[in-house]
Amino acid sequence: MKHMKSTIAGIVALTAFGAHAQGYDENIDEAGFYVGGNYGYLRVEGEDEFDDDKDVWQGLLGYRFNEYFAVEGSMIDFGDYGSDFANASTDGYTFALRGSYPITDRWSVYGKLGQLWSETEYEMDTFRGDYDDESLFVGGGVSFAVTQNLRINAEYTVYDAELDAEEAVEDIDDTNFETDLKQASLGVEYRF
């Protein structure tokens, strides 16, 4: 959490500097590619042994059709989570539709709806395996334009994930775990 506080302080300082360093032209062409990255806090919740809090990293690539609509893909590392008896590590990639609405010259809000394709490597006692999953996610956030090309985002996303270890652990009755992955993150976005 201390690392997250220092990251927030750095972003605030960058925002204050960037706001004075370069003027903002609200009439720039909004169409084009963008890249970005998010670092945040992951809450794993479910009716199983996988409740945990961890860091999450995400790299983004997107294309804006206009100031209101974009498509976006990402690679995401949810890290390791779980207990001594049952633990897991999840990585994946996403595709999403992103809708934005400008509030002022510099501030906008946005929402995302998309698909997560993930692979979870799990370990339960002495059993190990992996499970591929496809799940929906929904998210939203606020965006601040530091310059014409650089934006800072604060975002919250919920992924509806599932882990099925039935193939590896046939003698355990309930090996299908419903797990929500909840991500709160700060990020940067560079528009070309």
Q: What is the pLDDT of residues 89-119, one digit of tens each?
A: 889 999 999 999 999 999 999 999 999 998 8
Distance CA 116, CA 114 (A): 7
In tens, the pLDDT along 123-165 reads 777 777 887 889 899 999 999 999 999 999 999 999 887 655 5
Task: For residues 86 and 49, give the distance between their C-alpha atoms in angstroms, rounded to a whole number.
Answer: 6
In this prediction the pTM is 0.73
DSSP summary character for residue 83: -
**In sequence order, what are the beta bridge partners of 177?**
163
The domain total for the chain is 1
Listed in sequence order, the residues at least 6 apart from 54 whose beta carbon sits closer than 8 Å to its beta carbon are 41, 42, 44, 78, 79, 80, 81
Name the more confident of 71 and 2: 71
Is the confidence at residue 81, as pLDDT, over 50? yes
Half-sphere exposure (Cβ direction) of 99: Cα atoms closer than 13 Å: 4
Query: How would residue 168 be classed by pLDDT, with cut points 50, 70 and 90?
Result: very low
DSSP state letters, 148-159: SSEEEEEEEEEE
Instruction: Quote the Cα angle for 111-155-188, to 5°.
Output: 110
Residue 79 clears pLDDT 60, i.e. is over it: yes
Domain of residue 94 covers 2-191
Q: Write down the residue that tokens 């799990």 correspond to.
A: 122
The domain that contains 9 carries what CATH number? 2.40.160.20
